[in-house]
Amino acid sequence: MVKNTEVTLSAVAGDQLRSPSGALVIGVGQGTDGPVLLSNPLTAKAAEALAESLGVLGITGAADQAHRLPGLSEAGAKVLVLAGVGKVSGSQRVTEETLRRAAGSAVRQLAGVGTVTLALPTSSLGDVAAVAEGAAMGAYSFTEHRSSKADLKDPVKNVMIVTDFAADKGLKPVLDRAALIGKAVNATRTLVNQPPSHLYPESFAEAAKELSKGLPVKVTVWDEKRLDKEGFGGILGVGKGSTRQPRLVKVEYSPARATAKIALVGKGITFDTGGISLKPHLGMGDMKSDMAGAAVVLNTVLAIAGLGLPVKATAWLCIAENMPSGAAQRPADVLTMFGGKTVEVLNTDAEGRLVMADGLVAASQEFPDAIIDVATLTGAQLIALGDRTAGVMGSDSVTGPIKAAADRAGELVWPMPLPDELRPSLDSQVADLANIGERHGGMMTAAVFLREFVGKGRDGEQIPWAHIDIAGPSFNNGSPYGYNHKQGTGCTVRTLVAYVEDILAKTA
């Protein structure tokens, strides 16, 4: 099911620029006085002539611009591409995220070209890593359901990065990590992009097994019978309206010398009609992406395993299809969740928190050092933070490091509070709590609900926990930008991998 796209990454020094290539990419920035040609491996004469021609050619250096010109004989490329990086200042170096976006945008727009050479400025191995990551994420396409691909362009297959670090001993692990991160992000995108006719609870579980092949991980699947026997009332309640029965999937990576233990819980609603509390028809097709959180945590654990990081990482994929039928749960029904708490279902469209509650309890029973859940949970997230910024809520000891990891990874995440006054709004007249509460600040109210299901550690205190709401940034309905294509973005995978690496760096 998961036909992933991958790119081969390599590096060359500037004096080896004659290596055959379909296109050579050079950066152009928006300076205060007009377009600025960034540092590049061209001869001084060629660079000077090119710089003087930028304005005449209508090149501004704006982000996502990619102007194609005839190639230069000295460059060994058929086409010269001037890629915009956005605003630049003579006193500041180009940031890693700017490089990541410029590389991804150029590679994305050069689909159909077999080999691309990226000659963006790299003053550190971190810069090289950013260029490589951007290229790996830009080289993506999702075409498996097309009957004809005659008019479609294949993504770039080979990327050469021009850098002074080409002979550096530290370069190979940098490129290997970038390729693996790109693979994880693209696999997440492919799962999100799958139509609900093809991705449903059972097939999602099979996809998890397929993606895990060759990696040192263990995959355990709960079918509907085992879910019922063990009392996973949230997942069963949401899924019982569909003919396609729910699943819980556990993906474990347990290296022998793990120095930390983390649990990741992901919302996996393969299609969300809203259930009996039916959604409006407009935009309902986007609800195929309501399983993005589960795709994120799955591929994060697989990336951690692929990198061989010394941390025990477990992903819990809470998978169901939320459909209206004679068998579906009703508003006012009461569910008994895994662990025994009861929930009155006042709105069947607030279903993600129900499946996640079961996953949080299950994750808590293994006493991890921290639990992070990821979900396309609320429309309120889009209202509060827009289409590109995820909200993170929970324990300060987890949310702070997640924000720092996101900044390092180049993803947009913003911490939000969990005010005490929101909890009483979840009180129920007939159960332990209701699944909806205060409408204003709904993103935070949903997180307060989830917090009720985070268990205590061996020390008797609540396990450190964070909730990441990716309702907006997980799915791009607008135009492609940077390394992001239309539809699934694969957001948060990079942040979570960086979070784990940061934890390990502190314990080393």
Binding-site entries for Mn(2+): 267, 272, 290, 349, 351
Q: Among positive and negative, which fits the CA dihedral 285, 134, 216, 315?
A: negative
Tokens 């289409």, residue located: 387
Residue 252 makes CB contacts below 8 A (sequence gap 6+) with: 217, 218, 219, 220, 301, 312, 313, 314
8 A C-beta contact, residue 263 and residue 236: no
Residue 434's Cβ-count burial label (10 Å; 0-12, 13-18, 19+) is: buried
Which residue, 160, 157, 118, is CA-closest to 140?
A: 157
Helix (H, G, I), strand (E, B) or coil at 357: helix
Q: Tokens representing 116? A: 């691309």
Q: Tokens representing 485? A: 């294509």
Active-site annotation, residues: 279, 353
Length of the chain: 508
Which residues fall in the annotated binding site?
A: 267, 272, 290, 349, 351
Residue 136 makes CB contacts below 8 A (sequence gap 6+) with: 6, 7, 9, 159, 178, 179, 181, 182, 183, 185, 186
Q: Which helix (H) or strand (E) holds 181?
A: helix 171-193
8 A C-beta contact, residue 368 and residue 263: yes
